[in-house]
Structure formats: structure tokens, C-alpha cells
Structure 1
Amino acid sequence: MRYKYEDIEKFLEFKTWTNKDKIDKLLEIDCSLYAHLGTDSTKAEKEEVKRKSIDIYRTIKTLDKKLGDELLYSEDLKQ
């Protein structure tokens, strides 16, 4: 099943998924957000994807602090 950004809260509650499974799905969603940006994307669309990406990294941090911190740090370096 394909999950979207809007589904994050739903699958975080899944008891049968490991934290690794949840992190993998979060990173897949993050990748999909960036993959759907194009040369014709507006600045607002790019900023929205970046905001969602940071939200995803913060969610990852609740599951794996070290990885979440590294992702957030790398996002800060891009600015």
C-alpha cells in the first residue's frame, strides 16, 4: 500500500511495524515529495516540501534520536 504524508499519524500507530519499518516508510514519503518537484515548481511548493520534510525528520527523531538529529542537521546545512 502506498502511504502519503497525510497518512503518517495512521501508520505510526501500527503495532505490527517495527521502528525500522516506520522510518523506511517515512523516508520513502520524503523521497516521493522531492521527486514530485520539478523545474516548474513554484517557490511556495518547494518551501512546502521542505517544511513537510523537516516534519518527517522530527517524526523520525521520535523513533531514532540519532538518525533524526543527523537528518535535521543535514537539512540545516542546506540553508
Structure 2
Amino acid sequence: MKTMACISIMLASLVSISSYALDLNETFNELDKDSNGALSESEASEDALLHGNFSQIDSNEDGQISFPEFQSFIL
């Protein structure tokens, strides 16, 4: 019985994590107005937190925020 409860909890956690990952992807895609897979400083200005931390988030200093950079900052 305990094994089933643990499995149920693990499955619920996976669903929750997957849902959160989808939300991050949706948020990124909404901000990425030109759909090029990266956020320019102009696109990031739509969100005060991203805009205020743009240079910190842009870890490779290419002038844009990639999804992995966005994800690292949020998580």
C-alpha cells in the first residue's frame, strides 16, 4: 500500500513539474513577439523583472535571452 502511495505522489509531482514547464514555455513564447526563439531587450521590457535583470540573465552576453537562460533565471 505504501508503494502505491509513493508512486501516486511521484506521478502527481511529475504532472505538476510538466505543467510548470509548459507554463514557462508559454510565457517565453508570449514575450518572444518575433518568434525567433530569443528575447531581445525590447521584448524583455514587457516584464519589469526581466528588463531590470536583462544583463544578468543574458549569461553569454549576446544581447538576447535564450529559453535556457530564461529558464535558469526563473528556476
User: What TM-score do you get using the length of structure 1 for normalisation?
Assistant: 0.32
Higher radius of gyration, 1 or 2: 2
